[in-house]
């Protein structure tokens, strides 16, 4: 059974001080990691976790042992509210791509046959977004494709 351990990514989005700027809030949300000693935003951590979970999901689909879960779809939905490193990336285009990924994830969940094709479509929606917003991880995302 595919278990998602994304509890460590749950952060409080509430801020007790309404006078804190968006930049200060992002700075407060950054967490130091081995990958980025300058800190990682909630969105960056969520994306890394989703990459790992998607790789596990790929193996379930390839082996015919499972499919995307409601928990994974909820994780994708968190993209809308996760605080990014750069607040300017949260544009209407970013939201539209996120909605497309959620829609594709629902299609995968409802796929009775050819789950690999539906999975690859989900991976392609991730690539589409990253081509416009954050191109760095595209090579890693493309490796998720089922051949």
Q: What is the pLDDT of residues 29-49, one digit of tens each?
A: 555 555 566 678 999 999 999
Pairwise CA distance, residues 135 & 94, whole Å: 13
Q: Are 35 and 120 in contact (CB under 8 A)?
A: no
Q: Report whether pLDDT(98) > 50.
A: yes
Tokens 């595209």 belong to: 138
Q: Are 60 and 68 in contact (CB under 8 A)?
A: no
The model's pTM: 0.76
User: Residue ranges per domain, the chain?
Assistant: 26-142
Kind and range of the H or E run holding 106: helix 92-110
Torsion, CA 44, CA 119, CA 136, CA 101, rounded to 10: -60
Q: What is the pLDDT of residues 63-90, one digit of tens each?
A: 999 999 999 999 999 999 999 989 999 9
């Amino acid at each position: 059974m595919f278990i998602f351990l994304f509890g460590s990514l749950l952060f409080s989005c509430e801020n007790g001080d309404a006078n804190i700027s968006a930049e200060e809030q992002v700075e407060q949300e950054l967490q130091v990691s081995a990958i980025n000693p300058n800190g990682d935003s909630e969105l960056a951590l969520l994306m890394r976790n989703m990459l790992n979970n998607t790789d596990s999901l790929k193996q379930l689909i390839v082996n015919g042992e499972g499919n995307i879960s409601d928990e994974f779809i909820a994780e994708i939905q968190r993209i809308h509210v996760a605080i990014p490193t750069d607040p300017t990336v949260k544009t209407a285009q970013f939201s539209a791509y996120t909605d497309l990924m959620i829609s594709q994830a629902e299609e995968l969940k409802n796929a009775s046959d050819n789950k690999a094709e539906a999975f690859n479509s989900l991976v392609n929606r991730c690539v589409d977004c990253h081509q416009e917003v954050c191109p760095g991880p595209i090579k890693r995302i493309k490796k998720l494709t089922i051949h």
